[in-house]
Every structure is written in C-alpha cells, then in structure tokens.
C-alpha cells in the first residue's frame, strides 16, 4: 500500500479505504473473531492431544527471560550509564572506575583531537573497531593496527580482495601542515624543499596543480647546507584559486566559515596550501617547513604562516577494483535544504531524491590525480536495504538540487563554497555528525508513525551539550594516480569527527579493512614503495628498522642457545657497497691482514646511510654527468646526447641535487629496482644483491639439475660470517683471504627492502642498488651482443642472509619504466 499526503491509504485496485483506527478494543476484537479463534484452538488441541503442558526437555527455555549473566551485564551497564550522566551533568565530584572513564573516552566523539592512553600515545577514532579484530602496535606516537591476528599470513586473501573487491585503510596518522601567504613566496618554499619541484612540471600540469584541480607527490628535503637529507614523501595540494572572496563569504552569513574580521591577507595573491606528512617524519618535516618560512620571510620581508592541522582533518584510503562502486553506493550529494531538521523529521519516510551520480567516479570521468569537492549526506541516513520500504532513507526535498560534482573547476568552486570555506579555514569549527541515539530515536518514531501506533512512553534521548551538529559532511576526494598495475584508489579528506561514520558505512557495504602489514603487501604487489620501509635515505627508516631489530633480538633471546638463529645485520650495511665500487674502479686499494677493507666508510650520524637515492631522472642524470665521463647505459632509450631542454632543466631546477652530490664523490647513489626470479627462488627482506660474473649467468641460465654442480653457492661457514658485527655495533663486509672462499665470494651492490609476497601473480621484490655498479653490469652484459638481443633488465644474484645459495634474478630499474620520477608512495 502507498500513503497519500493527508494520511489516507490506497488499495491496490485504486479505491480508497476508511481510516485505520488509532486504537483497538481487544474485547470487541475477540468477540468479532470468536469463530476463528475457536477453530484455531481446536486444531492446536488436537495436535497436542489436549495436553498443553510444556515438555520436560523444553522447560529450560521457558526461563530464558530470567538470564542471570545477561541481567548482571544489564545492571552494570545501567550503573555505568548513570555514572556517566552524573559526571557529565553533576555538581559534585563522583569517583568512577578506570573502565568507565575509558568507555566514556572511547565512546565519545569530540570535534577535534585524538584520544590518548596513559603514556600519551594517540588513538585513532576507529581504535575500538580495530582493537577487536587486529593486532595493535605502538608506532610513531599512535596505536596502529599492525594486521590480523596470527603469524602474519593471509596475503593471498588480501591480494584477492584488492583485485576483485575493495580495501579500506584508516590513514588518519597522516597529518596536514597548512601554509598561508603570497603565491610567489609559497612557490619559492616548495621549490626549495621538494623534489621534483612544482616548476619542473609541464605548463599544463603546473596550472592544474596551482589552481587546485589536482594534487602532486614529491620528496621533502632539508633546507640547510651542505647536504640536503631526505625527510619523507609528501602530498601537497593548493586551495582552488578561483573561488568567492572571503569578504563575500562572510557577508553571506552561512555560519560555516570564520567570523573573525577580515585582514589585509584577503587579496587575490593570498593562497593556502596543504602538505600531508607521514606521522613518522612529521616532527622533522614540520620543523623544516617552519625554518623555510622563516628563511623566506628574512629574505623577502613577506610573512608566511605555517601551522599544523593535527586533530582536525583525517584521511581514509580506499583502493581496489570496486572502489568506485563503493563510493557510488555510499556518497550522495546533499541539497541546499537538507540541513533543516524540521524538514528532515517531516519527510523521514520519503525516498531519497538525490542526484544520480552513477558515473561520477568511473575512470573515464575522473582524471588521475584529480580533486573532487563534495557535500555528502550522512551515510547512516541512506536507504540500507532495497527490499525494506520502511527503512529510514535520505530526507531531502526536491527544490533546487545541486549540480553534479566534477573535477575542481570554477563552476564547482561556486557551487560548493562551503567545502573550501570550512575545510581550508583553520579558525572555523568543523561541525560534528548527529549523535547515534538521536538518529535511532527518529528512526523508531518514523516506524511507529508508519504503523499508525502511538508510543506515549517514548522520550527524546539525552544528547551531549554540543552547540550544533550536522547531517551532511564536507569532504575532498583525491583520485590516486594510475601507476603500473596498481588498483583504482581514492583518498577521502574529511573532518576527524566524521571518521567513525564513514568507516562503519564502508565496512558494512563490503570493504575489507587492512592494517600496516596488509598495506605493505598490496604496495609490493603493485610495485610501489612503502614508507618508511622502502626509503633507506630517511631517518624514519633507520629508527623503524632499529626498533624491528630490537624486537627480533628480544624474541631470539627467549629461545634456547642450541636453536637460536645467528644474528644478521638489521638494517642492512649499506656502506659495504663502497668496497665493491672501489674494487670495480680498479684502484690500488689493498686489504689488511684481518680481511677488512681499508676503504674509509663513514656513517652519517644516526642515519646509518651515507648517500642519496635518485628518485627523478634529472637527479640521476646529474649524478652520472658529475662523476662519470662515459655513458653508464642506465637509459637505453636515451643513450644519445641529452637534449637542449633537458640541459636547461638541469641548469635551472637541479641546483639542490648538484649541491647534494658534489660534496663527496665517494657517496652512494642508489636507485630502486624490482627483482624477478629468473627460474626459482623467493627473496626475503634484507637479502643481499650481488654482482654476477658472465660464467654465473650462463651456468644458472643453462642448468636444469638441482645438484650442486648447477648452483652458485658460498661455503656454509661463510653464511654467518659474510658480514661481521664490530664492537661499536656496526656491521662491515668480511673480505675473504683464502683462495677457496675468495672464488665463491660475490660482491654486494644493494639490498632488498621488501621481499616476495605470497599469493602474488608475478612475485617481485623491491631493492635498492648502486647506480654506478648497475651501469657497469649492463655494460658488461651488453658487450659483444647484438642490439636486438639486449635486454633492459640486468642480471644480478640474490642471496637470503641465512642461505648459502645465490639465485639469478632480473633487475628492472623503476626510473626507466616511469621515465620521470619515483616519489609515489603507497
């Protein structure tokens, strides 16, 4: 049956029936239905042989209403709720237990800020949900989900979900830093700290980034000379430039922006910028940004503000083949009249009249790296079951529906000024969502009204003393860039208080939640680096690997000495690659009697890595041109003389890179490579990558037997002594002295940072190798070969640190595949 506006109901044949009675007289109803009740009683009595006593084997179920454990839990719950009410509104101090305090803290949803534990470690807003299902760990000042319970397996199911389903990850530990100032000053700061710099992009890409139509990834570096050290990969995005002026926004009186007086910053050149930094490097990156702003102000006299947005904004990451379909089901744009609560309650049973956005998030309609701005309806109000007409659906009135949301353009900025006003203005108060008990009460009242029943005992639920709440949320959608075989992905930037609402909506609609371990599996399967595990030139990598080494050492000490494994270097001894380079250069370096090289190997403070990682083609080309006179054959498609445009770009945009690598010619220059096993083998994290001889390659390529004759191995005694730990705690390469060990010794050129992932269709490990040594290997393997038979991949040997066998692998340099930069982080 359908219902008209004045409450009358229609029959299926189109005729009108009488009004349904509001109350029913039970006695009159039973008298009218007496024959039916008597016939029903006779049928039941015949089946039971007129024995209405309950059977003995079922008598226990008759006392289910008097469940003692459930009653005790209910009494405790009521007592804790009464204590919470006394604390929130009481005039005198009430002593409550720690359990009640913790429940109050975790159940609450403050507008800003993270909840903290006793030692000051922050908790995500989804902490309770993750703590029930995941193994939690303390990382970078947060309680983060490490992965599902168990021994760290389950990668096959996660990779299957990424290929056939959708994954969701709470990335609220990424923190935004907002910069405010003139556009020219902000560009100078970015060009000073980022690689690749914004000015190094093409004009089309640069204009899209500058106008706020798309975001960009870059590597953040230190600003102090003499050597700039990498900090972390960051994502930066500009506030759209062509939007209504702040003066006009305040005159509109929408109540979403700030009410402060307008300052002299309201000219057209005044811009705002966000820089998203990982929590492991946030303190270091935030300090460098403030130093750069102060340096810019000292040089130009123009003030640039820099402040943190920690505890105000949050980020959710969604990726997988069905990510766009999940967004279509969950995100529905709100209309201008949606925020009126009286209209909401009046029309709560009408179906949603939202704009059809079925094709909004498809690959064809949204370009890679685009930013979408939306005001979306609270997903708790969306129709949950298509088969239930009485389910509370979106409450909107069809008056002036908003236009469809496209890539951030001038039209979109005029349509959704509130999105930019409330999210980009740090002084504005981000409105939290409506409380759950209020929505449940309205849902109950709507169902009672639909059944034409009165509920005199129903009371308006108690809510917290918030000044206001909202039923629509402003958010920004960032489309992940399409790189290789990476699945479709989106990042949602929204107020921190809305995280729980959208998290529960995504999970209930089929999204598979993942932690840090599962996210690393997906990134390795897609051939993308994972921070900080695949960034050896950052301090965050050193601190993370040292903490892992301490945990592994503690676990090893618990085992008996007879079965305790021998120690391996964690993190890898990157400086041992210097020995291989010095030998390859054919210098007159000699080794001392104790088997250690006299090549000076210095460690750089607490970084444990002395060198640079080339993440752009310009920085790699600059390094090769600075320290090598011949062509190192690292770009087979560009072996000719560099073009004029490339040389001009190097002269204008690579001053930082030249200063970085000009201090010492002995510095390492690493590039990221993907390793694929040639025939067999599984590469683990920390495995050493070695330079093969031509005899090793021909032997491993032609051998089909599994005997020792078809293998390249080292003696079992050399496995544990390949690297030796020094009294100071560092590890050095042990150069063999005897002839037998020297013949089987292979020189290291790099190390594996992320090993194979079980369940991957094409297993690949991520490693970092020296660029100069890779060039020499390619030159050696290409020599005396026809051009058509030359491969882009380079043959290398890989050995797990607890194994004696070398495996042949094909190394693919990532910069040769992307041909521009390798700064995209998962």
Give pLDDT, residue 110: 82
d(CA 237, CA 392): 37
Confidence at 505, pLDDT banded by 50, 70, 90:
very high
Tens of pLDDT, residues 355-390 = 444 456 666 678 888 998 888 999 998 765 444 443
pTM of structure = 0.79
Indicate the burial class of 134 (C-beta count within 10 angstroms; 0-12, 13-18, 19 or more): buried
Query: Which range, 103-117, 422-436, 719-733, has the best average confidence (pLDDT)?
Result: 719-733
Comparing C-alpha atoms, which of 768, 324, 758 is closest to residue 577? 768
Tokens coding 155: 């990668």
Tens of pLDDT, residues 677-697 = 998 889 999 999 999 999 999
Tens of pLDDT, residues 590-600 = 333 334 444 44
Please name every residue paired with 429 in a beta bridge, in sequence order, or none if there are none.
none
Give pLDDT, residue 51: 82
Tokens coding 757: 């992932």
Confidence at 346, pLDDT banded by 50, 70, 90:
very low
Give pLDDT, residue 507: 95
SS3 708: helix
Confidence at 283, pLDDT banded by 50, 70, 90:
very high
d(CA 246, CA 252): 10
d(CA 681, CA 761): 15
Comparing C-alpha atoms, which of 393, 463, 392, 394 is closest to residue 432? 463
pLDDT of 266 higher than 50: no
617-627 vs 644-653: helix crossing angle, rounded to 10: 90
Tokens coding 579: 């020995």
More confident residue, 15 or 42: 42
pLDDT of 399 higher than 70: no
Give pLDDT, residue 253: 36
Tens of pLDDT, residues 286-331 = 999 999 999 999 998 888 999 999 999 999 999 998 998 999 899 9
CB atoms within 10 A of CB 182: 18
DSSP tag of 481: P
Region of poorest pLDDT, from 13-17, 530-534, 712-716, 785-789: 13-17
Give pLDDT, residue 247: 39
Structural contact between residues 805 and 799, judged by C-beta atoms closer than 8 angstroms: yes
**Helix-then-strand count for the chain, H and E:** 27, 26
DSSP tag of 10: B
pLDDT of 605 higher than 60: no
Give pLDDT, residue 151: 83
Give pLDDT, residue 48: 86
Comparing C-alpha atoms, which of 430, 357, 351 is closest to residue 398? 351
- Which domains does the chain show, CATH number per domain? 112-172+312-335+363-380+415-423+469-528 (3.30.1360.120), 174-242+269-308 (3.30.70.1400), 539-586+608-640+653-813 (no CATH)
SS3 479: strand
**What is the secondary structure of 149-160 as a DSSP string?**
SSSS--HHHHHH
Comparing C-alpha atoms, which of 498, 535, 710 is closest to residue 609? 535
Query: DSSP E strands: which ranges in 125-269?
Result: 134-139, 142-148, 167-170, 175-182, 194-195, 216-221, 230-238
Give pLDDT, residue 242: 59
Give pLDDT, residue 426: 64
* Rounded mean pLDDT, 524-549: 92
Tens of pLDDT, residues 624-634 = 776 654 445 66
* Rounded mean pLDDT, 233-247: 72
d(CA 808, CA 694): 12
Give pLDDT, residue 503: 95
**What is the secondary structure of 607-621 as a DSSP string?**
S---EEE--BHHHHH
pLDDT of 405 higher than 50: no
pLDDT of 243 higher than 80: no
CB atoms within 10 A of CB 318: 24
Give pLDDT, residue 388: 44
Give pLDDT, residue 274: 94
CB atoms within 10 A of CB 694: 11
Confidence at 487, pLDDT banded by 50, 70, 90:
confident
DSSP H or E segment with residue 520: helix 516-525
Tokens coding 823: 């700064």
Tokens coding 163: 């290929």
d(CA 513, CA 319): 11
CB atoms within 10 A of CB 253: 9
pLDDT of 796 higher than 90: yes
Give pLDDT, residue 67: 61
* Rounded mean pLDDT, 474-494: 86
Give pLDDT, residue 56: 65
Please name every residue paired with 668 in a beta bridge, in sequence order, or none if there are none.
611
- Block residue for tokens 């005044």: 270
* Rounded mean pLDDT, 246-254: 39
* Rounded mean pLDDT, 807-815: 93
Comparing C-alpha atoms, which of 545, 671, 658 is closest to residue 613? 671
Give pLDDT, residue 662: 44
d(CA 675, CA 515): 25
What's the N-to-C CA distance of the chain in angstroms?
Answer: 52
Rounded to whole angstroms, what are the CA distances from 377 to 331, 332, 338, 343, 344? 7, 6, 8, 15, 12
DSSP H or E segment with residue 313: strand 313-319
Give pLDDT, residue 791: 85
Beta strand 270-277 with 175-182: parallel, antiparallel or unpaired?
antiparallel
* Rounded mean pLDDT, 137-147: 94
Q: Which residues have CB under 8 Å from 490's CB, separation 6+?
A: 317, 318, 319, 323, 324, 327, 361, 477, 478, 479, 480
* Rounded mean pLDDT, 416-430: 66
Give pLDDT, residue 63: 57
Indicate the burial class of 96 (C-beta count within 10 angstroms; 0-12, 13-18, 19 or more): middle
Cα 380 to the center of its chain, rounded Å: 24
Give pLDDT, residue 258: 34
To the nearest whole percent, how much of the chain has pLDDT over 70? Answer: 69
Q: Name the CA radius of gyration of the chain, rounded.
A: 33
Helices (H), ranges, 223-352: 246-252, 282-300, 323-330, 341-346
Structural contact between residues 279 and 140, judged by C-beta atoms closer than 8 angstroms: yes
Dihedral angle computed from the Cα positions of residues 240, 243, 247 and 253, in that order, rounded to the nearest 10 degrees: -110
Tokens coding 754: 């992320």
Confidence at 644, pLDDT banded by 50, 70, 90:
very low
SS3 170: strand
DSSP H or E segment with residue 586: none
Average pLDDT taken over every residue of the chain: 76
pLDDT of 672 higher than 70: yes
Give pLDDT, residue 131: 92
Please name every residue paired with 319 in a beta bridge, in sequence order, or none if there are none.
167, 489
d(CA 561, CA 563): 6
Please name every residue paired with 134 in a beta bridge, in sequence order, or none if there are none.
148
* Rounded mean pLDDT, 789-806: 92
């Amino acid at each position: 049956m359908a219902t008209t506006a004045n409450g009358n109901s229609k029959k299926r044949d189109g005729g009108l029936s009488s009004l349904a009675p509001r109350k029913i007289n039970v006695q009159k109803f039973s008298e009218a239905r007496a024959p039916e009740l008597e016939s029903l009683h006779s049928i039941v009595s015949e089946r039971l042989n007129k024995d209405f006593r309950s059977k003995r084997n079922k008598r226990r179920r008759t006392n289910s209403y008097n469940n003692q454990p459930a009653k005790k839990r209910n009494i405790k719950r009521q007592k804790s709720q009464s204590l919470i009410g006394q604390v929130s509104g009481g005039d005198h101090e009430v002593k409550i237990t720690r359990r009640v305090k913790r429940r109050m803290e975790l159940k609450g949803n403050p507008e800003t800020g993270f909840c903290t534990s006793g030692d000051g470690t922050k908790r995500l807003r989804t902490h309770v949900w993750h703590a029930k299902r995941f193994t939690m760990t303390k990382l970078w000042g947060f309680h983060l989900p490490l992965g599902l319970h168990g021994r760290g397996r389950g990668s096959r199911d996660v990779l299957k979900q990424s290929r056939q389903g959708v994954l969701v990850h709470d990335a609220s530990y990424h923190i935004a830093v907002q910069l405010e100032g003139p556009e020219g000053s902000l560009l100078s700061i970015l060009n000073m700290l980022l690689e690749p710099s914004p000015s190094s992009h093409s004009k089309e890409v640069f204009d899209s980034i500058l106008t706020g139509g798309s975001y960009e990834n870059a590597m953040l570096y230190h600003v102090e000379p003499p050597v700039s050290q990498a900090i972390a990969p960051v994502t930066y995005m500009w506030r759209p430039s062509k939007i209504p002026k702040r003066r006009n926004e305040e005159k509109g009186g929408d109540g979403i922006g700030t009410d402060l007086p307008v300052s002299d910053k309201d000219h057209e050149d005044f811009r705002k910028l966000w820089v998203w930094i990982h929590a492991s490097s946030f303190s270091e990156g935030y300090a460098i940004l403030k130093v750069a702003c102060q340096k810019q102000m000292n040089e130009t006299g123009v003030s640039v503000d820099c402040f943190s947005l920690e505890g105000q904004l949050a980020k959710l990451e969604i990726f997988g083949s069905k990510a766009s379909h999940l967004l279509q089901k969950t995100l529905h744009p709100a209309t201008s009249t949606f925020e009126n609560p009286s209209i909401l309650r009046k029309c709560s049973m009408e179906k949603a009249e939202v704009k059809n956005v079925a094709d909004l998030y498809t690959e064809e309609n949204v370009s890679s790296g685009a930013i979408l701005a939306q005001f979306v309806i609270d997903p708790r109000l969306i129709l949950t079951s298509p088969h239930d007409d009485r389910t509370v659906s979106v409450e909107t009135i069809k008056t002036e529906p908003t236009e469809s949301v496209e890539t951030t353009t001038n039209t979109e900025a005029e349509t959704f000024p509130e999105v930019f006003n409330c999210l980009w203005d740090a002084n504005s108060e981000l409105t939290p969502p409506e409380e759950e008990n209020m929505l449940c009460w309205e849902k109950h009242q709507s169902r009672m009204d639909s059944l034409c029943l009165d509920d005199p005992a129903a009371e308006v639920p108690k809510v917290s003393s918030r000044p206001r709440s909202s039923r629509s949320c402003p958010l920004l959608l960032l489309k992940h860039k399409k790189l290789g075989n990476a699945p479709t992905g989106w990042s949602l930037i929204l107020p921190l208080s809305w995280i729980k609402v959208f998290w529960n909506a995504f999970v209930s609609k089929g999204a598979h939640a993942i932690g840090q371990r599962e996210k690393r599996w997906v990134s390795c399967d897609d051939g993308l680096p994972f921070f900080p595990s695949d960034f050896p030139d950052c301090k965050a990598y050193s601190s993370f690997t040292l903490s892992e080494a301490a945990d592994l050492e503690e676990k090893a000490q618990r085992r008996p000495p007879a079965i305790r494994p021998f120690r391996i270097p964690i993190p890898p001894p990157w400086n041992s690659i210097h020995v291989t380079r010095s030998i390859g250069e054919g210098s007159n370096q000699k080794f001392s009697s104790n088997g250690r090289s006299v090549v000076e190997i210095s460690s750089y403070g607490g970084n444990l890595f002395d060198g640079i990682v080339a993440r752009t083609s310009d920085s790699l080309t600059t390094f090769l041109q600075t320290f090598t006179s011949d062509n190192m054959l690292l770009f087979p498609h560009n072996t000719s003389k560099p073009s004029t445009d490339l040389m001009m770009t190097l002269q204008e945009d690579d001053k930082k890179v030249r200063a970085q690598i000009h201090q010492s010619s002995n510095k390492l220059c690493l590039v990221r490579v993907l390793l694929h096993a040639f025939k067999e083998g599984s590469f683990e994290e920390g495995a050493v990558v070695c330079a093969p001889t031509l005899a090793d390659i021909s032997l491993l390529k032609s051998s089909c037997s599994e005997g020792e004759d078809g293998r390249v191995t080292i003696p079992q005694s050399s496995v544990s002594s390949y690297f030796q730990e020094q009294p100071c705690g560092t590890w050095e390469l042990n150069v063999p002295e005897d002839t037998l060990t020297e013949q089987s010794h292979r020189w290291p050129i790099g190390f594996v940072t992320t090993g194979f992932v079980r369940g991957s269709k094409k297993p690949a490990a991520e490693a970092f190798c020296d660029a100069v040594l890779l060039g020499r290997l390619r030159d050696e393997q290409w020599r005396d070969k026809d051009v058509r038979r030359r491969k882009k991949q380079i043959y290398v040997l890989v050995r797990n640190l607890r194994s004696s066998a070398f495996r042949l692998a094909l190394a693919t340099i990532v910069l040769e595949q992307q041909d521009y930069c390798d700064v995209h982080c998962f």
